[in-house]
Amino acid sequence: MDAALLYSLNLIGVFVFALTGALAASRKQLDIVGFAFLASITGVGGGTLRDVILGATPVFWITQPAPLVLCVATAAVVYFLAPFVEYRYRLLLWADAVGISGYCVMGASRALDAGASPFSAVVMGVVTATFGGIIRDIVAGEPSVILRKEIYVTATVAGATLFVLAILFGAPFWPAALLGAISAFIVRAGALAFGWTLPIYRSRPGRAFPPR
């Protein structure tokens, strides 16, 4: 049952990220093939990097076509419905918040199962959660979401860290997973709704880097 539930959660994560990729394609007014391509690389990008780093062979979507089929289906639906959806970029950001919240836990969990140290598991959670969105923004030519001022990566760090700590202290998987995912979403939602930020680096007056 746990394996089936984890697989279902992974598909939900793929769907949410594919949705953000398709929404980005709609903003760029791409054709249906562009929608499918951008949805697919966003939907499976983070999980692919996770499996490559962890040495999981084959990568999860090679022998299980459901993730890619889900990405293409999501792209097709968004292609026809996007013209009727207002504030698509705002929807993209909120869908992305849901995706990173679940994927930071999934990535950390897979890393722990593979024998990674707690610190490495947190890093893997962050990488898994953010890589798909990075690919999406680069390919779509959008300003990268990780370069926005409000908190983004920090939310995945918080979620993955709380999940790993809960597991280390003996918590069952599902309560630990919910703690991590909900915490990550709250932090990211606060950033979107209230503009939460961390202090940024500022050069001292007269100490700016000289032009090249």
Please report whether residue 209 resides in a domain.
Answer: no
Query: What's the pLDDT tens digit per position in 128-183?
Result: 999 999 999 999 988 888 877 889 999 999 999 999 999 999 999 999 999 999 99
- Residue 205 covered by a domain: no
Query: Is 77 among the domain residues?
Result: yes
**Domain around 122:** 2-194
- Pairwise CA distance, residues 146 & 137, whole Å: 10
Per-residue pLDDT reduced to its tens digit, 76-134: 999 999 887 767 778 888 999 999 999 999 999 999 999 999 999 999 999 999 999 99
Residue 212 included in any domain: no
Is residue 138 included in any domain, yes or no? yes
Residue 94 lies in a domain: yes
User: Are 44 and 120 a contacting pair, CB within 8 Å?
Assistant: no
* DSSP one-letter string for 65-123: -HHHHHHHHHHHHHHHHGGG-SSHHHHHHHHHHHHHHHHHHHHHHHHHHTT--HHHHHH
Residues 184/128, Cβ–Cβ less than 8 Å? no
Task: Please tell me the pTM assigned to this model.
Answer: 0.88
Domain presence at residue 210: no
How many domains does the chain contain in total? 1
Domain membership of residue 203 (yes or no) is: no
